[in-house]
Amino acid sequence: DSTDVTNPRHREISAHRLIAKMPTLAADSYKYSMGLPFNFPKNKLDYSENFLHMMFALPTEEYVVNPVHARALNLILILHADHEQNASTSSVRLASSSGANPFASICAGIASLWGPSHGGANEAVIRTLEEIGEAENIPKFVARAKDKNDSYRLMGFGHRIYKNFDPRAMLIRDACHDLLDDMGDHNDPLFEIALELERIALEDDYFKERKLYPNVDFYSGIIMRAMGIPINMFTVVFAMARTVGWIAQWMEMMDDPEQRIGRPRQLFVGKARRDYVSLEDRD
């Protein structure tokens, strides 16, 4: 009752199901990996609260969702919901253009997150902080980042699209600081490093001249780690958030009567003519 892409009601049902079930699938994958029992969602909780409940509640004790955590996660989900034609969204649209149902199309988007260059940026931020290790090591790593002969990069600064401050980072920065203040985790070495790196990026002329400001991945990675979400779940949370945007893109395509199958073109620059060589004559 939800796979006929020509039926508007089917499209609506499939959109609702995908968006509704994604947090359950994400949380259950974590619980399964830990050998812990699954938690059913609760109707009295909202989207973000339900995900946190399904992730962290245990049957042996009462679990109360921290409202600061829920607000921060909700902001992460909103800011990552859609962002132009990136690799995953383009994959969804290309698959959708063939008439694929949304379940198959969303799988195409998720598959494109397998590589480290898309969807794993906030995970890379935490890896960078772990590599630095202690606040006293920051000058050494900052110097490496400034050295044009060193390929080292500080992850979480600058953006390919935004040449000034990432507008999403401006929104999520306060949520990050509110969360750390609420948890009293400023003594965590990683958070000390993050706050010092943030200060340097906002004050150091090298970063300011090159507009290498902290981006949304810098803050979202810190927020998710502070909430206890494992690093290997960061991309899962990204996919959960981006599903809403993928579905919106898919619905837009299905509603367009002039939509045609995607067919990227490719220019061949090889030899104009090649003679066939039989197998026995090949080197």
188 counts as catalytic: no
* Residue 102 and residue 11 in contact, taking contact as beta carbons nearer than 8 Å: yes
217 counts as catalytic: yes
Residue among 242, 75, 255 at smallest CA distance from 167: 75
Up-side HSE of residue 239: CA atoms within 13 Å toward CB? 24
Catalytic residue, chosen from 53, 69, 80, 159, is: 159
Cα–Cα distances (Å) from 143 to 151, 152, 200, 209, in that order, read 12, 10, 12, 16
Catalytic residue, chosen from 53, 217, 255, 283, is: 217
| Other CB atoms within 10 Å distance of the CB of residue 107 | 14
Give 11's strand partners: none
Residues known to be catalytic: 159, 217
